[in-house]
Structure 1
């Protein structure tokens, strides 16, 4: 759900499933972008309908050509809350500086998780209800106070490595991550590993295939002494519409928080930057602390 930019170009149809069409601030080389998102949530367990923000964000990003194939780049992105009239600016989502060249790129700050990019991303194509196994096992999507290396494209192979600096403020201080993706034709495979400071290391595998008018994704995650499971989905674009079916299953090591979930989603693009969506999820077992229930979300996104 929380992705930098996903484009599905299937059967001549482009379906944008995240953030932005950045607008350059005049004569600065800096892009200002954002995605404002609202939704209504009806949860069976609460017997109530609520208006909520759906992970809105705004940001700045830019780069400078330093010559001889070297570039400097920076990005700063914060969450914004459209359901709170008071404190509407939330936590920093990204904040980093870096250098790139033919050898790849290195950056420091709050950066994208290699584990998420290689594995979690492929089960997380919907807006709100996707990848419940990944988020239950807390694979992470952005890691603060870190150094990240990203390799160039090595004949279809891309590698990422992250080191988080030890700090008392970090819940998972000192973690290390490795992620890899290999693409050949319409097939992309991924693998990732997190060496967590709490000894609950995480392992993951992913696969994604784009066919003629459909795509199929799957992500398997295992966290030591916690549990393992899979998030899988199939998507079918049709004109301005996108239909998605998701299946998730978690085997909890303690045997108390197992669940099986089914997710149905519909998305319609009203404009390149405007879309509406509906998602419904039902589950057996315990998901996010709630037993045997269902939830429906109806939302709208405006990207700029």
Structure 2
């Protein structure tokens, strides 16, 4: 039996044992978030649309397993007005205790938690070029308790049906340290793959899962009654499937309902982006609107009808005005 199946089976047995010991504490919550709005893009042609912006259906559950343990689970589907439920955003099972948490399934990797999450603050115009921004399937992740001044995390990618039959296809390690009002993060990501095409990105995108590595640091601190964050990341050419390696610098600032971020990358794709946003509460915990303006240089060449490079694409201006309605569908506890 493949190593990844053994790992998932072991995790499932642990969770099943925990659920069997469940006594009185059990929660189950089902809700939906409808996110529709106007969007304007100027590249390649000016276009105004009314569309879906990551509407979703979510279910989360937890059960007291005794001995300080809790079985936890989360499932989230994305949907839109045309295709209905079109993708699985998250799907994981986990075990939580004094030691921290262990989760297996589709989720963010440890590098994202330790580094990239600090600058992924916008609703839509965020995470253009940073590493580990995609939720990935078949990820097994451990995180120590968040209450500690030093939190560490690690994750492995267990890609199914790869031609190389590797036990581990990716490894991330990271840590976050609290020092006064400042939070520092650091992470390392390795791809330990083969030459097979395997789907590890959202919506079953495919790419050659080769070898490579990424490094990153982040810092978050309060400034002028707001919160500022910055991240510096490096990725080798094999890691990002580019001809050259890349360095990404991102800075963000949020105060009250306003936020902004700017990023620079040496890679061929999206060498520059800027997003400014504002969130307007409408109904407490039930509805709000957000407005975002982004300027993105996608760094992509334009081609003519014969396949020759015709020039560089212009700066793309993106504007969004989105209404968000959160609906509680079902909640139970005993």
* Category of TM-score, reference length = shorter chain: 0.7 to 0.9
Unaligned runs of 5+ in 1: 1-26
| Structure-2 change in CA distance of 1:204 and 1:291 (3 Å) | farther
Q: Matches of 2:248 and 2:73 in 1, distance apart? A: 35
How many residue pairs get aligned? The number is 264
- In the aligned structure 2, how far is the partner of 1:287 from the partner of 1:200? 23
Shift in alpha-carbon separation, 1:299–1:71, aligned structure 2, 3 A = same
Partner residue, 1:194: 189
Larger radius of gyration: 2
Q: For the residues of structure 2 that align with 1:274 and 1:145, how far apart are their CA atoms?
A: 33
Q: Deviations over 1:263-299 (max 9, x none)?
A: 2212111123311111111245617985422111111
Distance 2:156 2:283 in 1: 40
For the residue of structure 2 that corresponds to 1:200, the secondary structure is strand
Q: Which of 317, 326, 329 lines up with 1:294 in the alignment? A: 317
Structural mapping, 1:153-164, within 5 Å: 153=146, 155-164=148-157
Match of 2:290 in 1: 277
Structure 1 residues 96, 220: closer, same or farther in 2, change over 3 A?
same
TM-score (normalizing by structure 1): 0.79
Q: TM-score under structure 2 normalisation?
A: 0.72
Cα offsets for 1:146-197 (capped at 9, x unmatched) = 2111112474111111112142369x97111112111223211111111113
Unaligned runs of 5+ in 2: 1-24, 194-209, 238-244, 303-312, 328-334
Moved over 4 A (4+): 287-290
Contact 2:270 2:296 in 1 (8 A): no
Q: Is the aligned partner of 1:56 residue 2:55?
A: yes
Cα pair 1:58 1:78 within 8 Å, conserved? yes
From 221, 225, 250, give the equivalent of 1:209. Answer: 221
Contact 1:233 1:247 in 2 (8 A): yes
Higher helix residue share:
2
Q: Aligned-pair RMSD on alpha carbons?
A: 2.5
